[in-house]
Amino acid sequence: MKTYCTIQDLERSQDELTAWRRAIHQQPELAFKETATARMVADKLKAWGYAVTEGVGTTGVVGTLKAGSGTRSMGLRADMDALPIAEQTGLPYASRNEGVMHACGHDGHTTMLLGAARHLAATRNFSGTLQLIFQPAEENGIDCGAKRMLADGLFERFPCDVIYGMHNHPGKPARTFHFRSGPFMSASDRVTITVKGIGGHAARPHQAIDPIVAASSLVMALQTVVARNINPTQIAVVTVGSIHGGKAMNVIANEVTLGLSVRSFDAEVRTILQKRITELATSQAASYGATAEIDYGLGHPVLVNSEKETGFARQIAEELVGTDNVVDNIEQVTGSEDFAYMLQQRPGCFVRIGNGVGENPPLLHTARYDFNDANLTVGSAYWVRLVERYLE
């Protein structure tokens, strides 16, 4: 009877995986600057017998391993970049790069895939082609690493019948797996609205057209977009995250700039949001005698997990950690992910692994966040078993 990888098979690597993860954590690198991380990844993959291609999509690395006579292929993806955040964890392995830290767990994602890579190379308990994709610049917004790797011919050069990725989830118990088929993570659009008026003296407002007043009215009007234009059964978010205008209290500014983050899970809802935000910006500004210039940037699409591949991924998790540690139909996530672009081109699933619970679990993109090293062996074992079962 054929046997498959268990967590125990990886437990002996816990200390080494932890050392790898913390070394990456100490040397975080921003989008498209992940040269040291990419070099570490490439060197290890080459030492284990992978055919390694560097510089994919700028700083991406792909490791290819073939075994047996199987004709199927699969891809596993991990992200490598860090964020422009000053770390405040006080940990002995805290970031040594000032103002940069791994505040989203990409150090852990990379390490879990490396742990799996070594085990798979040693055992080769599969038949087919494995593509390990170490992606740069997930955090870079519209000009992201996934788009660059795809534009660089990712799936043409490194064929994948299916594609899988994994992300940690603060607030969920460590060493647990969470799944959702269909739309899972939101589309993310960035909107810049510049309200233009006529500047003047603060003591003579009747001689000016005050863009701050117009912009303030617009901020409040935007709160009605979701409440009054989107079906209550749908999910959408419109957040005004920044507002800039004026430099002196006794001067009426010429213009004010608003920065919006817009999230949705449905193409029709996304269209309605764009239409209403554009209309409101134009009409609200005009009602005060001002004008509005709208730069509507469509960002990442909705991340959609395919049903068959999600069911298979969930089955593997249940085999590995038991049904009590697997959650199906997890709530939708209003954050976005550029892995969505890969899922537009290949069927697959984006898996969540719990990062731990507590009174104040470290949240993603905060200065006190840290990846939970307890996940390293179970995450690596999951990747190994997924490959062994898909490429039997």
1 in a structural domain: no
pLDDT (tens digit per residue) in 50-66: 999 999 999 999 999 99
- What is the mean predicted confidence (pLDDT) over 285-305? 97
Say how far apart CA 315 and CA 77 lie, in whole Å.
19
Which of the 8 DSSP states describes residue 207? G
pLDDT at 359: 64
Residues 125 and 236 in one domain: no
* 3-state SS, residue 213: helix
Residue 224 structural domain: 187-297
pLDDT at 360: 67
pLDDT (tens digit per residue) in 333-391: 999 999 999 999 999 999 999 999 976 667 999 999 999 999 999 999 999 999 999 99
Domain boundary among 271, 297, 323: 297
pLDDT band of residue 281 (cuts 50, 70, 90) is very high
Rounded mean pLDDT of the chain?
Answer: 97
Say how far apart CA 74 and CA 68 lie, in whole Å.
14
Say how far apart CA 229 and CA 250 lie, in whole Å.
38
Number of residues that this document lists for the chain: 392
CB 16 within 8 A of CB 390: no
- What is the mean predicted confidence (pLDDT) over 263-285? 97
Residues 149 and 290 in one domain: no
Residues 203 and 293 in one domain: yes
- What is the mean predicted confidence (pLDDT) over 71-87? 98
- What is the mean predicted confidence (pLDDT) over 189-198? 98
Strand 128-135 relative to strand 60-67: parallel, antiparallel, unpaired?
A: antiparallel
pLDDT at 2: 86
Domain boundary among 280, 297, 314: 297
Output the six-digit token pair for 7: 């967590």
| Proportion of the chain above pLDDT 90, given as a percent | 98
Output the six-digit token pair for 283: 């009409």
Separation in Å, CA 232 to CA 110, 206, 235, 278, 336: 39, 42, 7, 21, 21
Q: Indicate the number of domains in the chain.
A: 2
Residues 111 and 15 in one domain: yes
Separation in Å, CA 355 to CA 53, 168, 173, 338: 31, 6, 6, 21
How many whole angstroms from its chain centre is CA 259?
A: 21
pLDDT (tens digit per residue) in 107-143: 999 999 999 999 999 999 999 999 999 999 999 989 9
- What is the mean predicted confidence (pLDDT) over 97-108? 98
> Residue 305 above 80 pLDDT?
yes
Report which of 81, 61, 54, 76 is spatially closest to residue 141, judged by C-alpha positions: 81
pTM above the 0.85 mark?
A: yes
Domain boundary among 297, 326, 356: 297
Residues 177 and 44 in one domain: yes
Within 13 A of 149's CA, how many CA atoms are on the CB side? 32
- List all residues 6 or more positions away from 167 whose beta carbon is below 8 Å from its beta carbon: 105, 109, 337, 350, 351, 352, 353
- What is the mean predicted confidence (pLDDT) over 253-280? 97
pLDDT at 362: 79
pLDDT at 292: 98
pLDDT (tens digit per residue) in 212-234: 999 999 999 999 999 999 999 99
pLDDT band of residue 179 (cuts 50, 70, 90) is very high
Output the six-digit token pair for 98: 């000032």
Residues 13 and 133 in one domain: yes
